Amino acid sequence: MRAFKVALACLPLGMAGDLSALNMQLEALRAEVQAQQQLIGDQASKLDAYAQSRRLQTYVSQTDYDTAVAQLKSDDYSLGGAMDSAWLCLCGALVMFMHAGFAMLETGSCRAKNASNVLMKNLVNVTFGTIGWWVFGWAFAYGTLSGGFIGTDGFFGIGFYTKDANDVITPNSCDADGCQSTMLSWFFQWAFCTAGATIVSGGVAERVKSPTYAAYAFVMTSFIYPVVVAWTWNYGWLDTIFDVGYMDFAGSGIVHLTGGVSALAGTIVLGPRTGRFVNPEEFEPHNLPLVVLGTFALWFGWYGFNPGSTLGMHTGDTGAMAAQVAMNTTISAATGGLTVFMLRFGIYKKYDVGGLCNGILAGLVSITAPCGNVECGSAFAIGFIGALVYQGASMLLQKLKIDDPVDASPVHGFCGVWGLLAAGLFDWGKGFDHYHAWNGFSCKTVSETDSSCMTGIGGRAIAAQAIMALVIIAWAGTLSGLAFFALKMTGKLRIDEETEEAGMDLKQHSPPKAYAIGQAPPKEKQLEQGKEELEKVMTGKTVVFNDYSWSHSDSQESIEKKMQQAWDATEREENHALLKEVAAILKKYPSLTLRLKGISSGRGQNNHITEAAFTKDFEKDFPSEPMEKREPYAHGRVLSIKRMLVKEGIKPDRMVSEIVVASGSKVEMTVE
């Protein structure tokens, strides 16, 4: 009982200890709850502050929202227009710089005595061509089309901008694809137009009258070329031919074929330079450094010509297309150059730097039409075949004795045709079933509402390219040929023989020479040096005629045969070599005249037969030189020499005949 009481007495003391522990736990829990409440309060404050910062999206009015979006679109649209403008101004300037390349290439390919004239002609082409493009060219090319054939407005730049009542000017600038001013397109397309006209300059170099060419350049840039552009780049009738249209990304046909076939027409009507196919070595390029520099300048400018033909740079897709075009252009140019270089080494067993340059240009022209719709492997093949086309065309023109000083028509005309065909043959669509053409990386679709690829149109596409080539040849070739022929009939086309012989720089320009290299010294110095050089050449040498003799009893037939053998003695190797040296001296000193003194001891046997043979042999060659009846055999020997020198390119009026009766039987040559 006592133990029970003790236990009851101790119970409160134990309960008091447990309550104290519980109170401590409760206080700790209360503190933790307060901390969580504080954290929640802080988070609520932050959330409220964030909500305040985002309130514009929640509470903006529809009007304010539409205004903000419109401003963003306007800024983006304007930036795209600025990118396009910068791109086309840069590329147009690169194309314009190609004129420096044309000038250097053409000047270096021609003779030194015409260097100033060639340079002037290139400047005249750009200046007259610019006026032609401004007055008529742009309007005919890009004006409102009439029947898909020719533009009808935009002459003199009229309509390029508008004015309000206060004369505030607003450019006509924006279209569905970007904000580009009409002036921007005018500038870029002007560079192409004048480049096409310059091609003709090379084909007619060294013999066309300068004012005549200036008039032709105006016609070319104001009418012939612009009409071709109207048919094509201005969405004329060729744009829908065979329901697939043409493909000429940067102008193999529109620019280069138009210029090349016009150059061919001009050089055919003009005829070859005097002596071109008699003494071809005299017409080799006089300055290869200029030719090479000109080629590099043209290649450089082509990166404005081809990539610039994307006509914009406001999206990633156009940037990718410009890069593809640049790569294709580079590969084709290199392939064309190497191919011609190796071909000519195989033919001539010598390195031909000029051939390498023209091969590069052939590759560039060939890839200009298909550069935007072929793969890089195709670009290699196109450049290779283009080189073969160029080499074959160049050899064909020489075979036909068509004188194109810079091979303008083989490079631009023949390779321009190949470029058009290659755009259809090598299109990177699936086989010949799909066709990409102007769609670039995408196939040509059935319609605007049906995005599936058109099929079975490869054949029509190639036919469209062939038709395009034919109509350009017919249009530009016919009009240029008629223009040159009409000028020829009036006597206003070709320079006179004296000017051609002396050089246009000497006869028509001030100063009378482009540079001292290759120019003749004054007449007094020429006479002194010519005498010295002729004396060296003739020392211990003579033209041998006395191998053939006849007696009084010989028949007329026998005498005539032996005389013919004697008079043809200049064809013999040793005589021919001697007279080539004499001809070289006369070419070196163009103001000198050669006196040929035929010496004979007196009236020979059978002179009546000799006179008859003389008349028979030489009357057709020298109709204006009467027969010397005192000594026809001596005169025949003189004219035999003259005939050979004429074959070497020496004009008859630079040689004087003199017949002297004296001891001996020979022909003396002196200069005066």
DSSP state letters, 521-554 = PPHHHHHHHHHHHHHHHHTT-----TT----TTS
Answer yes or no: do 166 and 315 share one domain: yes
Q: Is 70 exceeded by the pLDDT of residue 91?
A: yes
Q: Do residues 426 and 528 both lie within one domain?
A: no
Asked whether residue 401 is domain-assigned, the answer is yes
Shared-domain flag, residues 361 and 220: yes
So what's the pLDDT on residue 543?
65
pLDDT range class, residue 138, cuts 50, 70, 90: very high
Strand partners, 666: 599
Q: What is the C-alpha to C-alpha distance for residues 466 and 239, in angstroms, rounded to an integer?
A: 14
**22 in a domain, yes or no?**
no
Identify the DSSP state of 454. Answer: P
Residue 1 lies in a domain: no
**What per-residue confidence (pLDDT) applies to 617?**
54
- CA-CA distance, 416 to 423, in Å (whole number)? 11
Q: Domain holding 593: CATH number?
A: 3.30.1330.60
Check whether 458 has a pLDDT greater than 60: yes
At residue 584 the predicted structure's pLDDT band, cuts being 50, 70 and 90, is confident
By percentage, how much of the chain surpasses pLDDT 90?
52
Q: Inform me whether the pLDDT recorded for 4 exceeds 60.
A: no
Same domain, yes or no: 496 and 557: no
Q: Tens digit of pLDDT for each residue in 285-341?
A: 999 999 999 999 999 999 999 999 999 988 889 999 999 999 999 999 999 999 999
Query: Is 517 inside any structural domain?
Result: no
- Phi (first) and psi of residue 184, to 5 degrees: -65, -45
What is the pLDDT, as a whole number, of residue 267?
96
Domain boundary among 456, 474, 508: 508
Number of domains in the chain: 2
Q: What is the pLDDT of residue 272?
A: 96
- State the distance between the two ends of the chain, measured CA to CA, in whole angstroms: 172
Task: Read off the pLDDT of residues 53-80 as tens digits, 9 standing for 90 and up.
Answer: 555 444 566 777 677 666 666 656 677 7
Q: What is the pLDDT of residue 572?
A: 61
Q: What is the mean pLDDT of the chain?
A: 84
* CB-based contacts of 65, cutoff 8 Å, min separation 6: none
Q: CA-CA distance, 240 to 267, in Å (whole number)?
A: 34
Q: How far is CA 174 from the centre of its chain?
A: 32
Does 307 reside within a domain? yes
Dist CA 192 CA 221 (whole Å)? 10
- Torsion sign, CA atoms 212, 213, 214, 215: positive
- On the question of pLDDT at 553 being above 80, the answer is no
DSSP state of 561: H
Structure confidence at residue 640 (pLDDT): 74
Q: In this structure, which amino acid lies at residue 326?
A: A
The alpha-helical segments, DSSP class H, found in 277-352 are 288-305, 316-348
Q: Is 597 helix (H, G, I), strand (E, B) or coil?
A: strand
State the chain's maximal CA–CA distance in angstroms.
196
Model confidence pLDDT, tens digit, residues 499-528: 998 899 989 998 888 886 555 566 677 677
What is the torsional sign of CA 555, 556, 562, 563? positive
Q: How confident is the model at residue 606 (pLDDT cuts 50, 70, 90)?
A: very low
Which among 548, 53, 514 has a CA at the least distance from the CA of 290?
A: 514
Residue 559: the pLDDT is 58
Three-state SS for 658? Answer: strand
**In this prediction, what percent of the chain has a pLDDT beyond 70?**
78
Q: Looking up tokens 């005169």, which residue turns up?
A: 635
Handedness of CA 44, 47, 53, 54 (dihedral sign): negative
303, 333: one domain: yes
What residue has token string 């990118």? Answer: 83
Pair (100, 196) in one structural domain = yes
Please identify which residue in the block is written with the tokens 């009507």: 269
Residues 454 and 584 in one domain: no
Question: What was the pLDDT predicted at 8?
Answer: 47
For residues 349 and 448, membership in a common domain is answered with yes
Between these two residues, 525 and 223, which has the higher pLDDT value? 223
Looking at 110-114, 253-257, 628-632, which range is the least confident one?
628-632
Both 601 and 552 in one domain: the answer is: yes
Q: Tens digits of per-residue pLDDT, 11-22?
A: 555 555 567 777
What sign has the CA pseudo-torsion 266, 270, 275, 278?
positive
Is residue 662 domain-resident?
Answer: yes
- Which pLDDT score, from 0 to 100, does residue 430 have? 83
What is the chain's alpha carbon radius of gyration, rounded to the nearest angstrom?
42
Closest C-alpha to 122, from 194, 27, 51: 194
Please report, for the chain, how many H helices and E strands are present, in that order: 24, 7
Give the domain CATH number at 252.
Answer: 1.10.3430.10
In this predicted structure, the answer to whether residue 602 has a pLDDT above a threshold of 60 is: no
What is the structure's pLDDT at 173?
65
DSSP classification of residue 436? -
Q: What is the DSSP letter of 568?
A: G
Residue 624 has pLDDT above 70, yes or no: no
Closest by alpha carbon to 255, among 285, 229, 216? 229
Q: Summarize the confidence of residues 74-100 as an average pLDDT.
A: 86
Q: What is the mean pLDDT of residues 23-52?
A: 74
Highest mean predicted confidence (pLDDT) among 112-126, 428-442, 539-553, 592-606: 112-126
In a domain, 600, yes or no: yes
Which range marks the domain in which residue 243 is found? 71-508
Task: Indicate whether 537 and 407 sit together in one domain.
Answer: no
Residue 629 lies in a domain: yes
Cα-Cα-Cα-Cα dihedral sign, residues 310, 292, 394, 392: negative
Of the candidates 634, 154, 242, which has an alpha carbon nearest to the alpha carbon of residue 468? 242
User: 131 and 225 in one domain?
Assistant: yes
* Amino acid at residue number 311: L
Nearest CA-CA partner of 89 in 373, 313, 350, 246: 313
Mark whether 296 and 253 lie in a shared domain: yes
Q: Which of 489, 504, 482, 408 is nearest to 210 (CA)?
A: 504
Q: Which positions ≥6 away from 281 have C-beta within 8 Å?
A: none
In terms of DSSP bridges, do strands 145-146 and 161-163 run parallel, antiparallel, or are they unpaired? Answer: unpaired
Which of 104, 396, 65, 444 is closest to 247 using CA atoms? 444
Q: How confident is the model at residue 354 (pLDDT cuts 50, 70, 90)?
A: very high
